[in-house]
Structures are given as C-alpha cells and as structure tokens.
Structure 1
C-alpha cells in the first residue's frame, strides 16, 4: 500500500475524501468500523500528504479527475462516495459530473451557502493562514474542530491532527484552502444534478459546517436527508466514528436502502 492511499475491508466499494489540510489518515478511527461491510478506499487529495502537488491555483475539475483515476485504479465502475468538509465539495461536484459512478453520496461536515458573515470569516482565516505561524494557526483550528472533552480525553489523537496541519506545504495548503473558502456555492450549483440518494451530516456545535447548512443542503438535493449529531463539532470522523459508521451502515447497506427509499 502506498503512502498516498489505503484500501481495506470487503463488500460494497466506498471512497472516503478527507478535508483541507488533512490526509487519508483522518479516517484511521472510522475505517476499521466499516471494513466488515465495505471495501474502503481512502487517498490523499491533490496538494495534501503524499498526493500530487497543486500547480498554481486549485481547480475543482482536477479533483474530479483525481477521483476518476482512483476509481479506475481500484477497478471500480462506481462506488459510494463520502466527502468530509472540503472533500464534501469534491464529492458533490463529482456526483453531479459523474452520476453513473456514484451509487450513494454522503456529505459530512460540508459547507453550503455561507452567510455574508460566515463568508467573511473564512476569507479572513485564509488571509491569516498566508502569514500566520503554522503552529498558532493549527491550534486555532483544533479549538474550532474538537470539543473540549475530546481534547482532554484523547490528546494524542488531537496531536496527530496537529502534526498533519503543521507539516503541510504552505503553497499547496493555501491553494486548496482558497478553493474551499470560495467554494460554498459549489454544491448550490451541483445539487440539482445529484440524482443519487444523499445523506448530509454535521455536528450540532459545528460553527463552520453548521446545522443550518446541513438541513439546507439536504433540502436542495433531489433525494437528500439530513442528520445533526448533538454535542459534536467538526471532527465527526475522529470524535464520533461509531455514530458515523452506524449512520453509514443504515444508509448504504441493503436493509438501509429499503428503509430510506
């Protein structure tokens, strides 16, 4: 297995797309809970981890093409696709552009139609990231992403996410972050063309991918449903992997397909 991707488990094909500034190890807590039912593929997005570098500006079609290549390499004509945060923008854009390749779609902690204040705040974070000390910037992100209880109970896991943030190549990170910061209309544009069933989830205390966004996105999708996890912030795959795994099993497995039809 390469440093850029990991594949494990058996069952229905499922692709996991991480968020900005992270890599495929984001899924280390969730993937083991899925491997009994799914053939799980996770890989580093362009400009992240061991993934190919971003040359200049980041463009959504390049991430769509990367997912095409990953599915081809896996030998899959199609798969369930889960996107987290920025990965959710990619997953949604992909489902609209390649409807024949996405069986079911999960959008986890994903932004949708930021308010003017929310858009201003994320652009301010982008501007700060260009000049701020990376350690200080990482600490601010971790405070927003994790609940205080998890930070106290699992400091080693929080530290592993911090190391990933600090180690990022700044030019690649800023290119990806700009795409994320300016991308809150991506799903508004893509939603009418996403025909497959979709599950949209976020944490009840997520200030970046808010419950309002999640419910609005689910309503905008032709076949969408929303779920908000009380007491959680942005890091659902790390803080609440059992809850996410249970939701995925209910939504993706045959009995779930019958219940949610």
Structure 2
C-alpha cells in the first residue's frame, strides 16, 4: 500500500478471523498508527487524524463492528487485539510506527507492544490503558452502567454511525476492561519503548455528585500508580472528560508532535 501524492487517503481492507477491517492511510512523515476506542470510528476521529497527517504518515482503521468494518460474532478484548495485529501485519510501513490509541485502543496498543516489542517505536496512550488500583465498575455502578450501555447502543442505531455492538456487548466489554486494567502493569513491564500518556482530569465529567467523583479520583490514582512503577513514562493532563479526543484534538496533536523527537524519544 502506498500513500498518494495528493495526500488523499488510500483505502484498503484487511480480512482476518471472519471479519473485514476498513483501513485508510494518508500523510507524510514519521509512520503513525491510530487505534480507535470502543464505539469510536475513523470518522469520529477525523479532526485529530487530519491534524496528525500534517507531520505523520497516518494509518487508521475501524475495529470490528465499527464504521466500515464488518460486524462479528464476538466482541472481546482479544478479538479487537487481533484486529490491530492484523492491520499492522498488512500495511507496509518503512519503519516501526508510533502507535497511538484512544480509550480501549490505548489498552490494545500496550498489549500489542508488550507482545511484539520490535513492532512499534513508541506509544501515545489517550485516556486509556490505566492500571486502576480497584475496579472502575462496582456492583453499585452496574445498574447505571447498564442503562448507559442501552442508551449508547440506541444512540448508535439512531445516528447511523454504523456501530453494531448491542447494549449487552458494551456492558460485557466494560466489565472485561476492569479485568484487563487490573493486570496491565505486567504488560507495561515488557515495554522498553517511550510511552506518553494524555489523560483527562475528569473522565466521568465535572459533576460533584453520583459516580463522577470516585471515578475521577480512581482515574488519577491509576496513572500515579503507573508513574511510580515506571518513572520514565510521561503523562500530560487535559482539563477535559473522556471526550477529550473530540474536544481537544489540536492539543493532543500538538503533544504528539512536540512530545516526541523524530527518533521516538521523549523531549526533555
């Protein structure tokens, strides 16, 4: 696959595990692969992708059941991890890329880098891959999260945004991510490449009521736990909630552009 000289995206499909993954590539410069999160498509990330293409050769894609990728019979962390691995195996990049992941995509990036240490030059993790000291979803949260999952699934259906996951799929993945993040410090221990985290200060919003204060404190505590274990990991905090990738795309692009030297090392 080659990048067109007019900088319009080159599109292809990657077939694996019974699904078809929609991939696009455009831009010039250092290779960068962007992995979206749950209920998030390439189209949703269009502002950030456009900014990154000014300085990077950007590959991005839709996870199974999202955007222009096909639906699947199963949605799990390991299945999504397989989607990322299949895309990286299929594209022909001139050198190991900077791997950028948002939310669930950040967790996928960490697990892929831990399993394939020579496959990436560095990681930028946007509001995900957080080694939480305790589960994000407690029994007290389940009823509210189940209702949120139903609302999200209905919103996706009504918006025409082509996300195939059901409310049950979203709920199951939320619970699975607590398990994944409880163990993710072991994955970080296998990574020697530079890691830069870009995190929201209020992942659950700025409300002082309900679940938000606990979740915001827990989110901060997870990053502090990681930095204690890995002082070499940089963390940038944005005054935002979990929608930061949509509301603060220029800030995120600037951190990615300025926070890493061309050789992949962090700027001191």
**Same fold (TM > 0.5):** yes
Of 183, 197, 200, 1:200 maps to: 197
The residue number in structure 2 matching 1:254 is: 262
Q: 2: distance between equivalents of 1:65 and 1:172?
A: 17
Alignment of 1:1-261 (within 5 A): 1-2=11-12, 4-56=22-74, 58-60=76-78, 62-76=79-93, 78-116=96-134, 118-120=136-138, 123-124=142-143, 127-128=146-147, 132-134=150-152, 138=155, 163=159, 167-170=163-166, 173=170, 176-207=173-204, 210-221=219-230, 223-230=232-239, 232-254=240-262, 257=265, 259-260=267-268
In structure 2, stretches of 5+ residues that fail to align are: 1-10, 14-21, 205-214
In structure 1, stretches of 5+ residues that fail to align are: 139-159
Aligned residues: 235
TM-score normalised by structure 1 residue count: 0.76
Please report how far the alpha carbon of residue 59 of structure 1 lies from its aligned counterpart in structure 2 after TM superposition: 4.1
Deviations 1:71-116 (A, max 9, x none): 2322125211011111111011011011100101011101523354
Please report how far the alpha carbon of residue 69 of structure 1 lies from its aligned counterpart in structure 2 after TM superposition: 2.1
TM-score normalised by structure 2 residue count: 0.74
Label 1:175 to 1:46 Cα distance change in 2 as closer, same or farther (>3 A): farther
8 Å Cα contact 1:47/1:173 also seen in 2: no
Q: 2: distance between equivalents of 1:44 and 1:166?
A: 10
Label 1:163 to 1:178 Cα distance change in 2 as closer, same or farther (>3 A): farther
Q: 2: distance between equivalents of 1:164 and 1:187?
A: 34
Q: 2: distance between equivalents of 1:114 and 1:250?
A: 28
Q: 2: distance between equivalents of 1:46 and 1:180?
A: 17
8 Å Cα contact 2:111/2:187 also seen in 1: yes
Label 1:124 to 1:179 Cα distance change in 2 as closer, same or farther (>3 A): same
8 Å Cα contact 1:15/1:82 also seen in 2: yes
Q: 2: distance between equivalents of 1:185 and 1:81?
A: 22
Greater relative contact order, per chain length (Cα 8 Å cut-off, separation 6+): 1
Please report how far the alpha carbon of residue 256 of structure 1 lies from its aligned counterpart in structure 2 after TM superposition: 7.7
Q: 2: distance between equivalents of 1:257 and 1:200?
A: 14
Deviations 1:108-162 (A, max 9, x none): 10152335462316655554466x3557x75xxxxxxxxxxxxxxxxxxxxx998
Secondary structure of the corresponding residue to residue 184 of structure 1: helix
RMSD, aligned CA? 3.1
Q: 1: distance between equivalents of 2:173 and 2:69?
A: 12
Q: 1: distance between equivalents of 2:98 and 2:264?
A: 14
Label 1:25 to 1:181 Cα distance change in 2 as closer, same or farther (>3 A): farther
